[in-house]
């Protein structure tokens, strides 16, 4: 293979730049030309494509976001859009593609593979919700960002004897909530994977309040309901001074953690190695027991990524 392309798609996540850097540097070291496709599948359809050299990925390993920009493309979900993308790949002579993005982006990658383009995906999303991998690129940084926020909110909540409800991202997954909730010492964690029981939470709050502990932290995953709704329910049932913080997009940004830089670099280099074999390849990269794995796209439709309920139970049992 002489020419490969790389694009980032869906929500950005910290570590995407580390992956892009590794793809470009590994490709060039193997005499492969690497093309950057800007703005995800939109740029692929429109032909916003430029060759990347060693210097174009200098000074980016520590930066959040993605230098290639990203997008969500409805056009790519149509046969017509994908045919336009295919025509651009042919025009530039690009034979293989690395797609960095979430599960939607991987579905798009599968469609390209079915059209005869060798495609390897890197699981890039803060949500940690992709089948076949126990970690996604950006998740570790996002969890650390949430923990930092929990620590700060705790300081002020403790000073005012307040209950803090913190709404975190994760789309339909409770992963960020569970990991950050446990690591941040939250009293309760509300996630989509477990039935929401407001009484359990308010009973606990009243009990701890009676014991003299006047502040508590409750983490709510956005996939359940808004944090504001939970505040309303707590106030109505207990009358306790309760405030909400919605962390929002700050969870997506920031300098990637060491874990995400390492993952991005390892997956980036692996993607190039797979494409370089010259054989038709359609794989989703993942991580199992800290080893890189390459799964087939069929996993996207068969295996549901599960939240780690052991961590959830552990948090419940020690946050009393
Ligand atoms: P995140 O989890 O961070 O939001 P994502 O990759 O899951 O990332 P999506 O918006 O679901 O984000 O998908 C990104 C893009 O992938 C879509 O805008 C679309 O262009 C493409 N895509 C998603 N699903 C399909 C599909 N079934 N067929 C073709 N393309 C798809």
- Domains located in the chain, CATH noted: 3-138+256-301 (3.40.50.450), 143-252 (3.40.50.460)
Residue 144: C-alpha distances to residues 49, 174, 177 (Å): 34, 15, 11
Mutate to test the pocket of ligand 1, among 108, 253, 282, 284 (most ligand atoms within 8 A of CB): 108
Query: What pLDDT digit, counting tens, does each position of 150-181 carry?
Result: 999 999 999 999 999 999 999 999 999 999 99
Annotated binding site: 11, 21-25, 72-73, 102-105, 125-127, 154, 162, 169-171, 185-187, 211, 213-215, 222, 243, 249-252
Give residue 278's pLDDT band: very low, low, confident or very high (50, 70, 90): confident
Ligand 1 centre and the CA of 233: distance in Å? 34
Ligand 1 centre and the CA of 103: distance in Å? 6
Mean model confidence pLDDT for the chain? 96
Residues contacting residue 77 through CB under 8 Å, at least 6 positions apart? 108
Query: Which ligand 1 atom is the nearest neighbour of the CA of 126?
Result: 3
d(CA 147, CA 135): 18
Query: What pLDDT digit, counting tens, does each position of 99-157 carry?
Result: 999 999 999 999 999 999 999 999 999 999 999 999 999 999 999 999 999 999 999 99
Give residue 302's pLDDT band: very low, low, confident or very high (50, 70, 90): confident
Q: How many helices (H) and strands (E) does the chain have?
A: 11, 11
Ligand 1 centre and the CA of 41: distance in Å? 9
Query: What pLDDT digit, counting tens, does each position of 242-263 carry?
Result: 999 999 999 999 999 999 999 9
Query: Which ligand 1 atom is the nearest neighbour of the CA of 9?
Result: 14
- Bridge partners (DSSP) of residue 50 are 36
Mean pLDDT confidence for 278-283? 93
Ligand 1 centre and the CA of 56: distance in Å? 27
Mutate to test the pocket of ligand 1, among 7, 10, 73, 171 (most ligand atoms within 8 A of CB): 10
Nearest CA, atom 10, ligand 1: 10
pTM for this predicted structure:
0.96
Query: What pLDDT digit, counting tens, does each position of 10-39 carry?
Result: 999 999 999 999 999 999 999 999 999 999
Q: How close are the terminal C-alpha atoms of the chain, in Å?
A: 58
Q: Residues near ligand 1 with C-beta < 6 Å? A: 9-11, 41, 72-73, 76-77, 101-105, 107-108, 111, 125, 127
Residues contacting residue 31 through CB under 8 Å, at least 6 positions apart? 2
Ligand 1 centre and the CA of 20: distance in Å? 19
pLDDT at 303 exceeding the cut of 80: no
User: What positions carry a catalytic annotation?
Assistant: 127
Furthest CA-CA distance within the chain? 71
Annotated binding site for Mg(2+): 103
Query: What pLDDT digit, counting tens, does each position of 179-237 carry?
Result: 999 999 999 999 999 999 999 999 999 999 999 988 999 999 999 999 999 999 999 99
Mutate to test the pocket of ligand 1, among 46, 105, 175 (most ligand atoms within 8 A of CB): 105
């Amino acid at each position: 293979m002489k020419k490969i392309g790389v694009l980032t798609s869906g929500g950005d996540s910290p570590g995407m730049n580390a992956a892009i850097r590794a793809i470009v540097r590994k490709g060039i070291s193997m005499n492969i030309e690497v093309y950057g496709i800007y703005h995800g599948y939109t740029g692929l359809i429109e032909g916003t494509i430029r060759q990347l050299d060693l210097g174009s990925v200098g000074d980016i390993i520590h930066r959040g976001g993605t230098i290639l920009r990203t997008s969500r493309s409805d056009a790519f979900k149509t046969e017509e859009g994908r045919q336009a993308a295919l025509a651009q790949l042919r025009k530039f002579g690009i034979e293989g593609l690395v797609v960095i993005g979430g599960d939607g982006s991987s579905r798009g990658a599968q469609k390209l593979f079915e059209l005869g383009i060798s495609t390897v995906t890197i699981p890039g999303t803060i949500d940690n919700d992709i089948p076949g991998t126990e970690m996604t690129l950006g998740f570790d940084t996002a969890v650390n960002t949430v923990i930092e926020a929990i620590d700060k909110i705790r300081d002020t909540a403790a000073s005012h004897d307040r209950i803090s409800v913190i709404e975190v991202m994760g789309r339909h997954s409770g992963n960020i909530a569970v990991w950050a909730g446990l690591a941040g010492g939250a009293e309760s964690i509300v996630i989509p994977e477990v039935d929401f029981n407001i009484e359990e939470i308010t009973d606990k709050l009243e009990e701890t309040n009676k014991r003299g502990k006047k502040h508590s932290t409750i983490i709510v995953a956005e996939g359940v309901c808004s944090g504001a709704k939970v505040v309303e329910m707590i106030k109505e049932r207990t009358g306790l001074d309760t405030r909400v913080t919605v962390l929002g997009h700050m969870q997506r940004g920031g300098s990637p953690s060491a874990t995400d830089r390492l993952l991005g670099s390892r997956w980036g280099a692996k993607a190039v190695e797979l494409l370089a074999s010259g054989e038709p390849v359609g794989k989703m990269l993942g991580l199992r027991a800290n080893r890189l794995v390459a799964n087939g796209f069929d996993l996207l439709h068969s295996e549901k990524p599960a939240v780690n309920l052991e961590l959830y139970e552990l948090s419940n049992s020690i946050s009393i």
